[in-house]
Structure formats: C-alpha cells, structure tokens
Amino acid sequence: MDSTSALQQQFPLSPRKFWKKIIPSLVVYGFLALVLVLSLSIILIIPDAGSLSYVLLLQGMSAGLFFCGVFLYAWYIKTYIKRYYYAGEQHFITIKKGVFAPAEIHVQWQKIQDVYVDQDIIDRIMGLYDVHIASATAASGIEAHIDGVDAASAEGLKKFLLDKVSGAGSGANVQETVASQQQ
C-alpha cells in the first residue's frame, strides 16, 4: 500500500495532530511524575545528613525517566501519523492506523449511513476536526474516522464522502473524483 493515497494528498492530516496527541499526555504524565517525586521526597527526608543527596538522586532519575518516556512517546506519535492511511476506493473507503498492530477498516459506500464532523475540547483549542463515517456496524463508530484535519480538509472530506455515498461519481475512481474537485 502506498504511504499516501490521492484522497490523503487532497485532504491531508494537519501537522498540529502531533501536538493534539502529545500535549494531553505530557500534562498528565508530568503531573504524575511531579506527585511521585514530591511524595517520595517527603517520605525519604529524615533527619540524616545524607538524605538530601538521595532525594536529589531520586529526582534526577525521575526526570531522566520522564524525558525518556516523552521521547519514546513522541517517536510513537510520529510513527502513528506517518503510517496513518485513508483512501477512497471504487467500492469502499479504507482507513488504516496503528504502529505495532495496525487496524484496517473498509466501509462500503452503500453501507455508510452518515458522515459528520466534530471536535472535542483539544480539537477546538488546536483548530482541528474529526470526520466520522457511520454505518450499522459497531466498528465503524470506533475505527471509521479520520482525525486531526484542518477545517478546509474536514469540509472537503465530508463533501467527497457524501458525494460518493449519494452516488455521485459512482463509476469514477477516487483519482478522477479528486482531480475534478481540484479544478
């Protein structure tokens, strides 16, 4: 499978998607690391002259582990975004995402019941949108969405999907449909 499809090139993921994924985790893990370090520091402070060096060593090790974890998580998110794939085929849409065990879903055009765009709080702050594709299957609600696109891409994807669902361009492949939308 190509790394990007014609549909993905026409309506790409936003570069802000990386920050959408990493900022909430940094806040949560940073807070947990701070609580852990402070808790252990208070527990370990005893009226011994050498206890301060143990506390500083513990804090340094915790900071090192935190930054190693942040680096690994950032690598994971970069790889996740790089492998994120979606394409509008002749009879269905394909969405593939994941790093270690990628999930791939195919939804036939005639099975799609609704296409909608939404935002959560972080999306609103970052100016991102999620495009959801709903069908009667349970997996479509969980898997069948493209998240982390800007406003223009979200509206373009929604229009493209609704046109395909309504039968517009049913004989054309996605490259022809995308090419006609560019003109």
Instruction: Give the whole-angstrom CA distance, residue 47 versus residue 56.
Output: 15
Residue range 103-140, pLDDT digits in tens: 898 888 888 888 999 999 999 999 999 999 988 776 66
Find where tokens 């959408």 sit: 20
pTM over the 0.95 mark: no
CA distances from 103 to 22, 69, 116 (A): 21, 24, 21
Mean pLDDT comparison of 16-30, 124-138, 146-160, 165-179, highest-scoring range:
146-160
Residues 6+ apart with CB under 8 A from 113: 134, 135, 136
Q: Does residue 176 surpass a pLDDT of 90?
A: no
Q: What is the pLDDT of residues 27-68, one digit of tens each?
A: 888 888 888 777 776 766 655 545 667 777 777 887 888 888
Q: Torsions phi, psi of 107, nearest 5?
A: -120, 120
Residue 45 φ/ψ, nearest 5 degrees: -75, 115
